[in-house]
Amino acid sequence: MNDKFSVPEAELARQREYTELVRTVLSSRFPDKPPKAFVHTYGCQGNVADGERLQGILAEMGYEFTDSPEKADLVLYNTCAIREHAEDRVFGNAGALKPIKKLKPDMIIALCGCMTQQASVAERLKRSFPFVDIVFGTHVSYKLPEFIYCALCTGKRVIDVTDSEGNIVEGLPIKRDGTFKAWVPIMYGCNNFCSYCIVPYVRGRERSRDFDTVLDEVRELVQRGYKEITLLGQNVNSYNKDLPEEKRFPALLKAISEIDGDFIVRFMTSHPRDCTKELLDVMASSDKIAKHLHLPFQSGNDRVLKEMNRHYDRKKYLELIDYAYSLMPELSVTSDVIVGFPGETYEEFRDTLSLIEKVKYTSLFTFIFSPRPGTKAYDMYDPVPREEKGRWFKELTDLQESIARKRTAAMKGRSYRVLVEGRSKADGVLSARTEGNVIIEFKGDESLIGSFVTVEVTEPKTWVVYGEYKG
Ligand code: SAH
Ligand code: SF4
Ligand code: F3S
């Protein structure tokens, strides 16, 4: 256990006492049927994993869940701060709760997560959103029982956005959203301070969960029948980076791939600076490790990468990709990319396009630069107008679309082992995902959901391919 970041056991015990107190209060206030909670998580899978712990705590306190805020006795928004747009959505959705709260004054409204961790946002919520009862940040989310107790019993607003280096809390109950796909955080926080990014400010310092604790969690999930495990961290390649090699990420991935059972393991996100050939060797060594590498490059231009504080250059990135393809010719590579970083010129942006052409990504998450208060890039000179950036963005997405179309066209006639994830929109059609993260739809029986099947691709489109069930 990483003692520096662990929360004292006495504090966790105190929260368990609050859980019991809330349980008692709720059972007397809701004698006929249990209260309902609506929990919505924005942002990355790491936040989703946090949300599953918050749901776990709520379930222990006696809440059941609903998918509509109107029917809820407690609404919890677990927010994201990565781009301005993400924050605007939360402000909008929180504002929409005001009339509901008017009709149901006893409803508790709580906001937490990366957005509320920022003092300026907490201040705005305090001032302009008086109907929000609880606001808490990422470092104190294990105190949810105490916060709910306060709101239920004192009626006072609770605002706790204490900043800290972060913590690791083990042993919290987890109510997972999926029954065959699971998120497993292996580390929290980030030390990279990419100049555009808010995450290090709202998530604290990088810290890794204990090797054996992670291994045990994955083993248990596999035993319970989970088919896809995704290991999560902002930079999984620096997992346990201060410990000997046998405890670092390649070793963890290898150990997980050696667990008995029918499952695949994925991981995200890999930072190119810390991605090693050894990691790619481990990937290539096991059929249990999905042949999918999410390796964000952000920009194809060295000057921009330097300004972004990414600590790798185009050459190093392409070397890693070449090595990865040489080991795993079928590898699917995806990435994140930012268009219009402050001061980026069109010529520099073209380096991003040429890198995309070289790597031939399966898909890309594409973002227009969004200034985040408090980050270094927020104050950088940014002369290119938004409309111009919009045109570059379109150029990029058009290019990626043509690459994706060619990639999926090459899948025609081939068979893939896929995990069936659910129903598609069309009647009787199922939606599945290949190891490489391509969606395949095919006609099949719903009993197949949650299992691995083989599907032959018959009709590839750009972002989805259609296929035929082969067993
Ligand atoms: N830790 C991961 C990224 C997490 S954030 C990594 O380093 O790769 C997910 C993505 O959001 C980033 O990769 C980046 O492309 C994008 N992003 C982060 N901050 C942004 C900002 N201020 N404006 C636009 N996109 C941003
Ligand atoms: Fe943000 Fe960079 Fe950390 Fe990723 S590595 S979370 S982009 S600061
Ligand atoms: Fe958003 Fe926080 Fe994740 S800012 S992307 S939810 S770490």
Q: What is the mean pLDDT of each run of 10 residues along the chain (471 residues)?
A: 82 97 97 97 97 98 97 98 95 96 96 97 94 97 98 94 95 96 98 98 97 98 98 96 96 98 97 96 98 98 98 98 98 98 98 98 97 97 98 98 96 97 93 96 97 97 93 92
Atom in ligand 1 nearest the alpha carbon of residue 375:
22
Q: 230: cis peptide before it, omega within 30°?
A: no
* Length of the chain, in residues: 471
Cα→Cα distances 260→214, 226, 227, 246, Å: 16, 12, 12, 20
Q: How far is the CA of 370 from the centre of ligand 1 (A)?
A: 10
Question: Which of the ligands is closest to the CA of residue 202?
Answer: 3
Q: Which mutation among 85, 114, 201 tests ligand 3's pocket best, with the greatest number of atoms within 8 A of CB?
A: 114
**28: how many CB neighbours lie within 10 A of its CB?**
8
- The pLDDT score that the predictor gives to residue 350 is 98
**229: how many CB neighbours lie within 10 A of its CB?**
22
- The pLDDT score that the predictor gives to residue 2 is 55
Which residue type sits at 258? Answer: E
The answer to whether the beta carbons of residues 339 and 384 sit under 8 Å apart is no
Q: How far is the CA of 90 from the centre of ligand 3 (A)?
A: 13
Q: Does the beta carbon of 270 sit less than 6 angstroms from any atom of ligand 3?
A: no
Residue nearest to atom 7 of ligand 3 (CA): 199
- The pLDDT score that the predictor gives to residue 331 is 97
Backbone angles phi, psi at 388, to 5 degrees: -65, -45
Q: How far is the CA of 420 from the centre of ligand 1 (A)?
A: 29
**Tokens 């083990």 appear where?**
170
- The pLDDT score that the predictor gives to residue 76 is 98
Q: Does the beta carbon of 80 sit less than 6 angstroms from any atom of ligand 3?
A: yes
What residues are in contact with ligand 2 under a 6 Å CB criterion? 190, 192-194, 197, 199-200, 234-235, 271
Alpha helices per DSSP H over 236-328: 249-257, 277-285, 302-307, 314-327
Q: Which mutation among 234, 236, 369 tests ligand 2's pocket best, with the greatest number of atoms within 8 A of CB?
A: 234
Which residue type sits at 302? Answer: D
Residue nearest to atom 5 of ligand 1 (CA): 82
Strand pairing class (429-434; 439-443):
antiparallel
Q: Does the beta carbon of 81 sit less than 6 angstroms from any atom of ligand 3?
A: yes
The whole-model pTM stands at 0.97
**448: how many CB neighbours lie within 10 A of its CB?**
16
Backbone angles phi, psi at 356, to 5 degrees: -60, -40
d(CA 356, CA 403): 9
d(CA 295, CA 40): 27
Residue nearest to atom 4 of ligand 1 (CA): 234
Q: For the packed helices 314-327 and 277-285, what is the interaxial angle rounded to 10 degrees?
A: 20
